[in-house]
Structure 1
Amino acid sequence: MDIRVINSLTYEDFVNIFGNVVEKCPLISAAIWSHRPFKDLEDVETHITEFIHSLSDSGKEGILRCHPDLAGRDLQTGALTRESQEEQSQAGMTTLDSREILDMYRLNAEYKERFGFPFIICVRLNKKAEILRQLSERLKNDRAAERERAIEEVKKICSLRLHSIVLSDMQTKL
């Protein structure tokens, strides 16, 4: 999918295709659609990033709360979005042993109790050992620092998802 195709999408198609680049936040794609024509995919990403940064702290935390716990109930029950399912699977969250599952549940609960939102890390760029280490380490942050760190991870996830959409569409046409 090239930028001409992206720019020609109807509002509904744009939101349908890009509505989950930020987990369960189609409002972001809806909000940036009016900025067309985009110069390139990076321009799309820039508008998403600017939208996120324009939000209040509570708005940013709202975005974070849309994310599932890693290796949590949604994974166990099959309730994850397709993107999250693929990402958690690739990172090894579906192959945790019983000890690792208990550690994840405990650390996720501590994290949510401390910060009020789930632990966010770009799992595509990490494996389970590093995810567990980061989860333990980031529990030491203060709320403001952790909110900003989590938003940076959301932006990484968004970037990878945007590029995956475009790449998968290009591969389909080959």
Structure 2
Amino acid sequence: MDIAAVNALPYEDFVDILGNVVEKCPIVAAAVWSRRPFVSLTALEARINDFIDALPESGKEGILRCHPDLAGRDLQSGTLTRESCEEQARAGMDALNSAEASRVAWLNEEYKKRFGFPFVICARMNDKADILRQLSERNQNERAVERARGIEEVKKICHLRLQGLVLTDAPNKL
């Protein structure tokens, strides 16, 4: 759909279609709906990022907590969102050998104990080796640094999900 079609969506449809561009956070789509009309996909994405940036630190951590563990229980049980399932599969997280799976599970738990939210990375921009390396390395960060890094990864995920939903054509003439 193009940006004109996005702008024409009623509230419920807008939230239904764009409600998972930020994982399990339809409140983000709900909040930016009132900012229509958007002149372009870039403008829509900027409004989403503005909303996220304006959140208090606890709100940003809430967004991070909505993300599933990589190669975790939700992937194994088939309860990931369609988007997360595709993203993790593309990165090879659904095809870990037993040693890799054990290592990821342990690192995920250590990460959550340290930071209070799951490790978030844009799986579509990384492969299995990059993800495993970053999960290990980022466990060493300070909480504020890691919260900011996680939010930047959320924005990358959002960017790619939006590109999959909205055509990146000429700006809408308002």
- State the TM-score bracket (shorter-chain normalisation): over 0.9
Q: Which residue of 2 aligns with 1:150?
A: 150
Q: Which residue of 2 aligns with 1:41?
A: 41
Cα distance per residue 1:42-101 (max 9 Å; x no partner):
111000000000000000000000000000000000000000000000000010000000
SS at match of 1:119: coil
Name whichever structure is richer in helix by fraction: 1
SS at match of 1:111: helix
Offset of residue 3 of structure 1: 1.0
C-alpha distance in 2 between matches for 1:2 and 1:105: 40
C-alpha distance in 2 between matches for 1:2 and 1:102: 43
CA RMSD of aligned residues (A): 0.6
Matches within 5 A, 1:95-106: 95-106=95-106
Relative contact order: is structure 1 or structure 2 higher (C-alpha 8 Å, sep ≥ 6)?
Answer: 2
Gaps of at least 5 residues in structure 2 are 168-174
Q: Which residue of 2 aligns with 1:2?
A: 2
Q: Which residue of 1 aligns with 2:52?
A: 52
Gaps of at least 5 residues in structure 1 are 168-174
C-alpha distance in 1 between matches for 2:115 and 2:162: 28
C-alpha distance in 1 between matches for 2:64 and 2:50: 16
Q: Which residue of 2 aligns with 1:164?
A: 164
Q: Which residue of 2 aligns with 1:119?
A: 119
- The one-letter amino acid paired with 2:141 is N
Percent sequence identity is 66
Q: How many residues align?
A: 167
- The one-letter amino acid paired with 1:61 is E
- The one-letter amino acid paired with 1:137 is E
Q: TM-score, normalised by structure 1?
A: 0.95
Q: Which residue of 1 aligns with 2:171?
A: none
Offset of residue 166 of structure 1: 2.2
Q: Which residue of 2 aligns with 1:171?
A: none
C-alpha distance in 1 between matches for 2:41 and 2:135: 31
Query: Is the aligned partner of 1:21 residue 2:21?
Result: yes
C-alpha distance in 2 between matches for 1:147 and 1:22: 15
C-alpha distance in 2 between matches for 1:102 and 1:9: 44
Q: TM-score, normalised by structure 2?
A: 0.95
C-alpha distance in 1 between matches for 2:4 and 2:101: 45
Offset of residue 165 of structure 1: 1.2
Query: Is the aligned partner of 1:80 residue 2:75?
Result: no
Q: Which runs of 4+ in 1 moved over 2 A?
A: none
